[in-house]
Chains A and B, each alone.
Chain A
């Protein structure tokens, strides 16, 4: 019996509904290991890069899919490829730079060489290689790749459904965030490590927004009424609303960085399961590439974009707003960050976390500020993890 099997039944007994979450799932090591297999290495699509980060042919980006190092390349034929960033020989990390341009990748250990399509190109001393060596067996381990509006998704599971199926009803909101054509320009990264389990990090509910974020009230900045979309079966959650212009009430000495200068007033919040947040707020476009660093930590790369058609003046405004509004030191999101940590702090007390607001209402009556929508994901999570069948079943 694995460590997970030992604990599954006792968690299932406490996990009576998708609105009552046993807190130990945020801090149990065996649960975390099982989640890696199910959600991160299983039949899910993970956005790990945007084409804007691979601006020219031959570009590459290295990143991580949970604990697996990943190399994403853009070939001279403009194909996007994804590989495990590990030499097929002894497993040394193949490329250590975060990004760059390279047609080939050479492992420093024994000088094995691979092209950016993942093929084995050659290695010293091949005449003495073992008799069953075939070069086609020694390409880089590849992952399936699919794109949506320039966002590059990967999966390790050959049986995963198509990306279109995976995104479901979340696809239009995601396109909105990517300004439809996905022709974005990279502005930069804000990186941070939160002391919280990956699920606590992504489980922000829509109920909290006007309550936690004092800035909204002080700045007279309440959001307009929006549309809530829950994409089955994974529980991706989208909130579509319209940018509400900030009215200067004198609170800030210089409100220019929170003003809306654009013409595209679509505002969006998208939570893609398992762990990616994507937002279009005011003039910012933000993909939060995230990965668990063990059961208690989540690393987030808040990645900000503009659009290739931006005027230089608008680009400057986007840079200024992106640098101040969201991210690990931003006006608004810092409060979310505080909550991730504060939720994590109590995960070993044997209690339950509850979803209450809107729960029990028919789904078509859920509103933007209900938290019932989070339970769609939790229902899915509960099923996938085997927590919906009781011990002995």
Chain B
């Protein structure tokens, strides 16, 4: 059973370069290369602060996405971006993604801790293990480390970093220590989330599965001796807003048209870990090409997600590409601010979510619509704050400061995958 959700929901905006859709950067009226300038990020952050959101979030990997030919990619290192945003805002939380596989724990603990101090206690660290051989090659490895090893290292790494924050006597954090964020949908990832995560991003598609996921996480946290109310679960939510339902649908269809086909196929092939060569757009993806989720390499979360869609809905390849629209596979909600607010309210009140990690369709226009129209609607329903009541990210999220997790004894140096 999941505990009933009460109070108000939490909202982050994921500044995913030009927007979550593969065609975002081509959307009419959009500056194609805005996401390669720092002002793109600082201005969205200021808008998010004006809308009283909990935090801005930056996804990241230490790698050039091979798909960059056809869509914009993340291209600025998150801690430098957030340090700049910290100097130009006062309240908004700042969540950076940094890899546990490809950073040194001593250096990372210092840098994130210092950013937290400088920002006045507004920082969260999204722990990722970083999938893929392309990133591994930037750190001397011939292939990505085994999935299980990545997660064993992540658990020990987080414990070491949190212990370092906890031991600070100088440059201490106004919020005690930075918030640990985690986003793993795999078996290994859920275990890590239950052990160390304070904010959990998820990619659930329907309300029943999301409720079950949240309940499982809370049980897992209890099993690790934690208070389940010290966990905030934020599913990803891609929004396509219009002033009428028809307008929203037209916007969604236009984004489909703008999706570069070569990019969509390349991305899906990467997510599934198989070649799509020779597969026809008007036929379903053959099930026998798909390995079991726990045996897949790369990001198991998004593999699992797309595999489930293929198994459940048996879409043609063309329909699947349009459904994903070049996004990672996070849930897409299309409609008026009232309709999207209905969806948000249903998820929140039924115990499926404590809030959402919002991925606007197009940046900045999709977030402007979100902040100007959806946030006021959520306020009218009493679901979202009208002003900040504190100054730290922990305060915004309603999180206390639990004891630091016990150091994990089985920490091994990362093995080089040669």
Whether both chains belong to one complex is answered with no
Task: List residues of A whose CB falls within 8 A of some B CB.
Answer: none
Task: List residues of B whose CB falls within 8 A of some A CB.
Answer: none
